[in-house]
Amino acid sequence: MSFLAAVAGKGGVGKSTLSALMVRLLSEEAIVLAVDADPNSNLGQKLGTEVPGSVGQIRERLLSKGGQPPRDMSKQEYLKLKLREILVEGDGYDLLTMGRPEGPGCYCYVNNLLRVFVDQVMDSYPHVIIDNEAGMEHLSRRTAREIDLLILVSDPTAVGVATALRLSQLADELDLKVKRKVLLMNGVRPGREGTAEQLARDTGLEHFLLHDDEAVRDASWSGAPVNGDEHLASELREIVPNLFPSSRRR
């Protein structure tokens, strides 16, 4: 069984960047599955990977064909084939992009098949990192899977922290099975650690502070990937062993 970590936070706090860096660090031990479940999909860009398609596109293409696969294939075979086609093999990781929310109309049978297949894919990896949209819509549909770690990302502002707290409460309201919640306070400027620490402590959540990294910000503005040698990556390297079990010990 894989160790499943979900990353959530409001836009602009660096959750996709942190997800990509954690994938980089964990991939030093074993191949990691990165799942981009944010409709504004950019985890592939952060990892420097071209994305050929998404799970949502597979569903919609089949729907456009009246729900019927090619004559010589069952739906199960067709969906498995298409999932393999969009699973990107990177350097120490594989990437699966979920895509945008479903359109109007019920397509429960294919949705359930895709969910089962994605679960089967996940179980082939020691670590899975899911980069989520703020509403955690994809996670709310995955009630059968236990989330080992919910990482809530915030910037060092009262608004960011309030959003992280709402997401923590939303996880409870959705009855998600979460073993552990952690707040990552990202973008803390030197000399402001005390204020950030107090904001984080007031949430009551287990938390870690991460400093602002100008190189990472420049990469985000230019669209360049993160490569794992940034100062932010060095700080994360100290935290990751506390968050994730070592694949070498599993």
For the chain, list the domains and their CATH numbers: 3-243 (3.40.50.300)
Digit-coded pLDDT (tens) for 126-152: 999 999 877 666 666 654 468 999 999
pLDDT tens string 6-63: 999 888 899 999 999 999 999 999 999 999 988 788 999 999 999 999 888 888 888 7
Contact at 8 Å (CB) between 58 and 87? no
Dump pLDDT digits (tens) for 63-90. 777 767 788 888 888 888 998 999 999 9
Question: How far is the C-alpha of 95 from the C-alpha of 98, rounded, in Å?
Answer: 10
Contact assessment for residue 103 and residue 60, using Cβ atoms and an 8 Å cutoff: yes
DSSP state of 51: -
Q: Compute the C-alpha angle 242/187/22, nearest 5°.
A: 40
What letter represents residue 179's amino acid? Answer: K
Q: Is 84 helix (H, G, I), strand (E, B) or coil?
A: helix
- Residue 219: pLDDT above 70? yes
Structure tokens that stand for 41 in this block = 């999909």
pTM score, whole prediction: 0.90
* Region for 105 from its dihedrals, namely left if φ exceeds 0, alpha if ψ lies in -120 to 50, beta otherwise: left
Q: What is the DSSP string of 111-155?
A: HHHHHHHHHHHHTTSSEEEEEE-TT-HHHHT-TTSPBSEEEEEE-
Q: Tell me: pLDDT of 218 over 60.
A: yes
